[in-house]
Structures are given as C-alpha cells and as structure tokens.
Structure 1
Amino acid sequence: MRNDRRRFLGLLAASPWLVSCAARTAVRDAPVAAPPTTPEDLSALATELEAELTGRGFALPDLREERVIRQLAGVRPYRRGGIRVEGESHGGFPLFHNYGHGGGGLTTAWGCAEEVARMKTMAGFVRGSRVTVVGAGIIGLTTALRLQEDGHRVRLVFRETTPHTVSDVAGGQWAPSLMAWGSGPSAGPRRDRILRDSLRRLRAEIERDVGVREVPNFVAMGYGASVGKMAGEYLPDATWHDAIPIRGLKMAGTQVDTLLIEPSRYLAALWERLRRGGVEEQVAELAQLDEVRQFGDDFAVIATGMGARELCQDSAMRPIRGQLVLLEPQDLGYLFSHAGGYLFSRGDALVLGGTVERDVEDPTPTASARERILSRHRRFFAPQA
C-alpha cells in the first residue's frame, strides 16, 4: 500500500498532464488552479484523486440544521487526586469503592471491574458469596457482571438506570479523558493494567455485535487529542496523512484506530446478560453508607459516580458538565477530533461535542452551548465543502 502510494505520487510529479487531469477530477467543474508543485501539495492532491477514483475516501458530515435531533448534557464524575478503586472496612462491613472516572467511564469500566474482582478475591470472597453493587451506570453494570462471572449472587441497587444515567450521555470513544490516576509508585502500573484489561474485554465484545467496533479517528494537525496519546502503547501506531482521506477535506493530520462504544446498545446488552445471569434488581436511593447493610449481603461495591460525594462524604468529587448535539445518523465510518470539538459517527446519531464545564452540576443543556458546538463544527468543515 505504501509502495503503491509512492508510485502514484511519482507519476503525479512526473506528468504535468496527469496533474492537470487530477485537478479537474478533484474539483470537478470548478476553475482549474495552478498545478501543485510542492511535495505537500502533490501528496494532498494524490489523496483526493485516489478518493475520487477508488471511492475509498470518506464523506464530509452534513451539519445542516434540519439534521439536528436533540441536545444532551451530563455531569462527569471527576475525582481530584485519582479514581477511587479500593477496599475498606466500614464499621466491620467490607466495602469496595469504584468511582471518580470523570470522562473515562466507558473507557475504563472493564479494567476497574477487574480490579474489584482481584480485591474481593484477596479479601477471601469466593464463589457463592452475595454482593450488593450500588449504581447502574457503566461502572456498576460491568462490576456486577464481572462479579457474576465469578459466581457471586449479585444484587444491583440503583436510583436510575439506562437510559437515564450519565453513561447514556457519553460520546463513546475509547480514550481516558478528564480523569486523574493518582500518584505514587503503584499509580502507573495500575493505570496500565486498567487500560489493557478494558481494551481486552471491549475487543472481545466486537464479534458479539453489541455496539462496540473499531473505527478510525482522524485528528487535525496541531490538535493534541487524548486518543492520540494512546497510540503506539495501547492502540495501534498513529498513521500520518499529508491529506486526511475525507473527500473534499484538504488538511493534514493523524489517524488513530480506536474503539467506539455506542452507549444505548452496549448498556442494554450488559443488562440483558446480567438478567440472564439472575441479577436481583432493587430501586433504592441510599442516604448514607450504613444503609448498604440492610440488604444482608456479604460485601458491597459503591459505583455511584457523582453520588459518591454525598454517599461516601467524598469532598474530592468534582462535577464537570459536558454537552453534546445529536444529528440524524450518517454512515461516515470515522471519528474526527479538532480544536473546535469532536465528531463521532454512531449508528443512532452523529454526535457533536462538546463542552468541559468544571464545577457545573446542573444536567440541563443550554442553548448557548448548542449554538457554540454547531458553529465550531460548521466553521471547521464548511471551507472544505
């Protein structure tokens, strides 16, 4: 593939007629500009011509107002000093905490569930032990399912469940964003373990057809997206494009192949598996930790997101509101990250994000954020149309 591309570039450089023909093909009926002469211009033209002739290029998004469906907002459960994934004895009752994941819940849920499974095993809880898991977002569901896999009798206690959790509002890209990992000698190895365990579990879900798939994320040149920091260590090496392979888009950038998790489909699939495994469901809102004893189980896991601030009296919890605009689904086949936001092409919607509003815990979307998100994406893509 790389050799074919070099040959293609060589032909372009060697043939003025082909350059002129390529320019006409790329812009169709527009006036033909001066032939490109620099290597960068030739590479960009090669990508565009290749996309036109082979059909392999991706399409630009349609961001017209009539395609807008709705706006969403959710409050990310960020924890200063690092996520809380640890055990304690609360008045003699064994508790395990699993919260504070910020904007990385979908990304790290399975890895953190594996951490809880290790801790409870070290604490001596074996197959048949009864556990209460408090919280039914992605963290609670994956933890409950992981413990169910170990043969525990699982009770899931929740105030709200899908589609009304913060996890349902997530964009869905695999990238640990807006979360802290803590400090000390164990923080790095734990981070590595969590990310690798999460990827392993999520990649195994792809063949199940439950809303998890591998997809390219194109990152505009000069923008340091969080997913880019994962390339080469957890995700495949990034690929540099002199011209990103989107028809009509004329800019350089990188491609990082990551995972996309569609929240509505994936959360529903987790619930289905839990119910097949015999999970006991209980709607309740706990006001204080002591109340977790009332269920009579052997141990409990707290996975309540921002709710842990009051339930666990954890002052390190800090809300960060995020807002999204959803458009009608468009089968683009890619994600895109640029300085003005991000775009995720999901099966249920084209997702435009987003906002980072620290210390804002009102989950009500605002008209100003809607217009800001839309205008930034329209400005970014419009000049390329």
Structure 2
Amino acid sequence: MSGDMGGHTGGHTGGRSGDVIVVGSGVIGLTTAVVLAGRGHRVRVWTREPAAETTSAVAGALWWPYRIEPEALVGAWSLTSLRVYGELAARPGETGVRLVPGVEAGSRLGELGAWARQVPGLRELGPDEVPGGYGYGLAARLPLIDMPVHLAWLRGRLEAAGGTVESREVGSLDEAVAEAGTGSAAGAVVNCTGLGARDLVPDPDVVPVRGQLVLVENPGIGSWFAAADKASSTSTYFFPQPGRLVLGGTAEEGDRSPEADPATAAAIVERCARIRPEIADARVLGHRVGLRPVRVGGVRLEREREPGGARLLHNYGHGGAGVTVSWGCAYAVASLLA
C-alpha cells in the first residue's frame, strides 16, 4: 500500500497538529479523516452507523459533478478528486476505484463548467455514436468506484495513520466541540453528517433527495452510460461494478421512504433496456435506496466559530456528488485547519 497516496494524503508532518473529531462516516467524513490524519492530526470519527449503512454505500459512484453547487468551487474540488482517483485506480482490487469508459448522453461541453476542459479524453460525440436517440453526448474514461470496497479501504487508511472510528450517536455538535476542546487547545470538530445536519446544526436548507437503484447480473456490459432527464425526477444510467450491474435512477426531492418501490424498479429496468436490450432479461440481485443530502444554496464548507479553543467546521450538503468532490473538499477542510 502506498504510504503517501502519491503526495496527496501526505505523511505525518512531524508531531500532532491537534485532536480532531470528525462526525459522520460516509465518504465525505472518512475521506476528510484520512486527509487530516495524513497532516498529523489525531483523528477520531464518531458515527451513528457503520459506513456500510450510510448513503455513500448505496451510491452508483461515477465521478461526475452532478446536481451540486456552488459552481465556482465545485470544479476545483472535482478535479482534485479526479487526480486522486486516477492514482487509486492503479490498485482497483484494494481501493475499489477503476477507470471505465462510458457515455454521458444529452450533454455538451459548452454546457459544462470550465472543469470539463481539464478532464483527460472528454470529447463530444456525434448523433450516430450516442445510443437511445439522444442525438448528442460526451465520451470519457472516468473513475467508477465500488463503494463498499472503497469505504473499507478509507477506514483502513485512517486506522493505519493512527485514527479511530467510534460508534457514537451525537446529540448535538456542542457535545463534540466540548470533548475536542478538553484534549487540545488546537482541537477541532468537522461536521460531515450529510442529511443529519438538517437536525444537528440545525440547517433546514438540507433536504433529502431519494435515489432508487436496481442491482442485476451483468449480461456482459463493460462500459457505463448516464443520461439525466432535466424535466423530471428520473434518470437513466447503468454502471458495471464487480459482480453486478447498477441500474438507476431517481431524484425525488423530499421523499424519505427507505423502501424500494416495485413500479419504480420496473421503470428503471425498462429505461436502461432501451439503451442495452440485454438488460431486460438480466436477473435482479437486489434493490437499493439512498437519501442524497442536498443543500439549497450548495455545499457548506466553512469554519463557523471557535468556542473555548475548539474549532467547528462544516463539510456537508454534497447531494449526489459526494464521491466526486470528496478529496477536494477534504483538502479544503485541511487548509482551514492549517
């Protein structure tokens, strides 16, 4: 295992920079914890549920800046993550990251931010190159992350750097701030609670956006496909993951139902089969539902206050693009603590 992530996570900087409590163990929390541990902080992750039970574990997890703001910051965060994933893809079995070719249908380069010009190999397609009658689209070889494997790898990285993951339900952020302030004058808390921030902060601008997926046996599909329907709450995508093909999806704002809806599942399969007909006969392996932590106004990444010497930082509201910006946001948090 690489000791320094090719220079991205870094090693210990020579002595601890202070104790940090990271609240939340999804991809945002664990990535933040890994980066901070690499900067010399002693990091404790407090989590109400194991990473395998978070929304992150359900994600289809293609790198792509999807439904996330603020636009002025997202590009840089996304490109930082893209560079890290490019390195991790050298060890896919260990990290869960692979570079996979695919098509983003219904998108043009001119509609995207400046970040798109820095994505290696991203190119526009002609009408005859885009399936499903979309007429235009983009092709790229992008990171596709097997989230259960990746979350386990992140935890392993954290623990190897001396960090810990503790099962602990947080009643208020003040509780974490108080504990962080007792151990070190430079102590800090980083709030990475995703949807939980709605009640914990509290922040009423955080809203759940429900996503439903269908897992099927892969009938031999080696590339990904994605097309968002801008006029509805549905999208069409399939991502080849080890041992399964992930089909999606939905984006239902305000819907908190954790149960998979059979009619929605059937519609997802039907939409995907219009692109690749062999999907219609693929055996269903299971269903997944996740609640994306979308925040009106975009990601909140800032330092709020310094009561009694313990700093409180926020890193939440990443919606359906947590994987896409996780490393970029983690380094931004580290900069705020420097």
**TM bucket, shorter chain:** 0.5 to 0.7
Identify if the C-alpha distance between structure 1 residues 151 and 384 changes in structure 2 by more than 3 Å, giving closer, same or farther: closer
Matching residue of 2:88:
205
Q: CA deviation at 1:289?
A: 1.6
Once the two structures are aligned, what percentage of the paired residues are identical? 33
Give me the whole-angstrom Cα distance separating, in 2, the residues matched to 1:231 and 1:131. 34
Alpha-carbon offset, residue 331 of structure 1: 4.7
- Classify the secondary structure of the residue corresponding to 2:121: coil
Supply the distance in 2 between the matched residues of 1:214 and 1:200 (Cα, whole angstroms). 12
8 Å contact 1:155–1:282 — kept in the other structure? yes
> In structure 2, which of residues 37, 54, 61 is the aligned counterpart of residue 148 of structure 1?
37
Matched, 1:314 2:209: no
Q: Secondary structure at the match of 1:333?
A: coil
The code of the aligned residue for 1:146 comes to V
Answering whether residue 110 of structure 2 is matched by residue 217 of structure 1, we say no
8 Å Cα contact 1:134-1:157 kept in structure 2: yes
Cα distance in 2 between the residues matched to 1:384 and 1:151: 48
Alignment partners' CA distance in 2, 1:269 and 1:332: 26
For 1:299 and 1:384, the matched residues in 2 are separated by: 48
Structure 2 residue aligned with 1:50: none
In the aligned structure 2, how far is the partner of 1:328 from the partner of 1:278? 39
* Cα displacement string for residues 190-237 of structure 1 (whole angstroms, at most 9, x for unaligned residues): 3332122111221121113212121112244xx2389x8364333433
Q: Distance in 1 between matches of 2:22 and 2:43?
A: 7
* Partner secondary structure for residue 163 of structure 1: helix
Tell me if the contact between 1:244 and 1:250 (Cα under 8 Å) persists in the aligned partners: no
Q: Kindly indicate whether the alpha-carbon contact (under 8 Å) linking 1:231 and 1:256 is maintained by their aligned counterparts in 2.
A: no
1:357 pairs, out of 220, 235, 252, with 252
Cα 1:276–1:326 change in 2 (3 A) is: same
Pick aligned residue for 1:232 from 113, 117, 120: 117
Q: Does 1:132 align with 2:17?
A: no
User: Among residues 354, 367, 370, which one is paired with 2:265 in the alignment?
Assistant: 370
Which residue does 2:170 correspond to in 1?
Answer: 286
Give the deviation of 1:242 after TM superposition. Answer: 5.4
- Residue correspondence of structure 1 range 259-274 to structure 2 within 5 A: 259-274=143-158
Query: What is the Cα deviation at residue 168 of structure 1?
Result: 0.5
Aligned 8 A contact 2:17 2:40 in 1: yes
Residue deviations 1:236-294, cap 9 Å, x none? Answer: 33142554499xx9987542222111111111111111122221221111121211123
CA distance, structure 2, for counterparts of residue 384 and residue 306 of structure 1: 33
Letter of the structure 1 residue corresponding to residue 211 of structure 2: G
Partner of 2:313: none
- The higher radius of gyration belongs to 1
User: After alignment, is 350-359 or 279-288 more displaced?
Assistant: 279-288
Q: Shift of the alpha carbon at 1:127?
A: 3.2
In the alignment, which residue of structure 2 is the partner of 1:276? 160
Shift in alpha-carbon separation, 1:195–1:252, aligned structure 2, 3 A: closer
Q: Name the residue aligned to 2:78.
A: 195
TM-score normalised over the length of structure 1: 0.59
In proportion to residue count, which structure has more strand? 2
Give the letter aligned to residue 248 of structure 2.
Answer: G
Give the aligned residue type for 1:133: V
Which whole-Å deviations, capped at 9, do the CAs of 1:323-346 have from their partners, x for residues lacking one? 000012455221012455011111
1:53-132 correspondence to structure 2 within 5 Å: 127-132=16-21
Q: In the alignment, what sits opposite 1:299?
A: 188
How many residues get paired? 256
Within the alignment, does 1:161 sit opposite 2:44 as a pair?
no
SS of 1:160's equivalent?
Answer: coil
**Residue aligning to 1:8:** none
1:22 counterpart residue number = none
Instruction: Note if contact 2:97-2:143 (Cα within 8 Å) is conserved in structure 1.
Output: yes
Name the residue aligned to 1:327: 216
Change (3 A) 1:341 1:243: same
Query: Aligned AA for 1:283?
Result: S
CA–CA separation in structure 1 for the residues paired with 2:169 and 2:108:
37
Paired residues of 1:157 and 1:283 also in contact (CA < 8 A): yes
**Structure 2: distance between partners of 1:321 and 1:201:** 28
1:369 is displaced (CA, Å) by 1.1
Q: Which segments of 5 or more consecutive residues in structure 1 lack a partner in the other structure?
A: 1-109, 182-186
1:347 maps to what in 2? 242
- The change in CA–CA distance for 1:383 and 1:274 in structure 2 (over 3 A counts) is closer
SS of structure 1 residue aligned to 2:68: coil
| Alpha-carbon distance in structure 2 between the residues aligned to 1:212 and 1:150 | 23
**1: distance between equivalents of 2:279 and 2:146?**
28
1:379 and 1:199 map into 2 onto residues whose CA distance is 30
Secondary structure in structure 1 of the residue aligned to 2:53: coil
| 2:107–2:136 contact (8 Å) kept in structure 1 | no
What is the TM-score normalised by the length of structure 2? 0.67
In structure 2, the CA distance between the partners of 1:373 and 1:130, relative to structure 1 (3 Å rule), is: same
**Does the aligned pair in 1 maintain the 2:108–2:138 contact within 8 Å?**
no
Hey, what's the Cα distance between the residues in 1 that align with 2:134 and 2:118?
29
